[in-house]
């Protein structure tokens, strides 16, 4: 499922990036994947996915 339509970023991609790089902030996540860089509508959901995945590591 696409989370960020502007940049075609899926939830799967976000989870993979979180597992690999373990970003501690949303800004750090954006260093690895271009999510939330345009309209910003996806930021809340993307952040939730990041936090959910971090808890499972």
Q: Catalog residues that contact ligand FES under the rule CB under 6 A.
A: 4-7, 35-42
What 52-55 contacts at long range (C-beta under 8 Å, 24+ apart), as own/partner pairs, is 53/14, 53/15, 53/18, 53/19, 54/18, 54/22
**Which tokens go with 40?**
């910003």
CB of 23 to ligand FES, least distance (A): 17
Nearer to ligand FES by C-beta: 25 or 40? 40
Shortest Å, Cβ 12 to ligand FES? 15
Nearer Cβ to ligand FES, position 6 or 54? Answer: 6
């Amino acid at each position: 499922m696409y989370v960020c339509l502007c940049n075609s970023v899926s939830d799967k991609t976000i989870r993979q990036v979180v597992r690999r790089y373990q970003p501690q902030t949303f800004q750090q996540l954006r260093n690895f994947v271009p999510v939330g860089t345009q309209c910003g509508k996806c930021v809340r959901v993307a952040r939730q996915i990041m936090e959910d995945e971090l808890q499972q590591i």
